[in-house]
Amino acid sequence: MKLLLNGTSIDAQITTLADLLEIKGFAGAKVATAVNGTFVPAPARAEHTLTPGDSVEVLAPMQGG
């Protein structure tokens, strides 16, 4: 299915947000996720089904000030 990941078009054979994080190397990382502009908490990622055309943002926390 075609998705946007952090603004870049990708084609991935996945079903859930957790699947996407796994194949893109984010599994186990402390990241924030949003799908179509809506925050998806870590416990809900395995149940959050993605559909073609979804826009997914994955953000890592940054230190500094």
Binning pLDDT at 50, 70 and 90, where does residue 62 land? confident
Q: What are the extents of the domains in the chain? A: 2-53
Round to whole Å and give the CA distance between 30 and 1.
Answer: 25
Q: Residue 54 corresponds to which tokens in the numbers above?
A: 């979804």
Residue whose token pair is 């796994």: 22
pTM to 2 decimal places: 0.91
Bridge partners of residue 32, in order along the sequence? 59
Query: Is there a contact between 45 and 21 (Cβ–Cβ < 8 Å)?
Result: yes
pLDDT for residue 40 = 98
A 10 A CB-CB count for 45 gives: 20
Mean pLDDT of 4-30: 95
Q: What is the 3-state secondary structure (H, E, C) of 39-54?
A: EECHHHCCCCECCCCC
The token pair at 10 is 């990708």
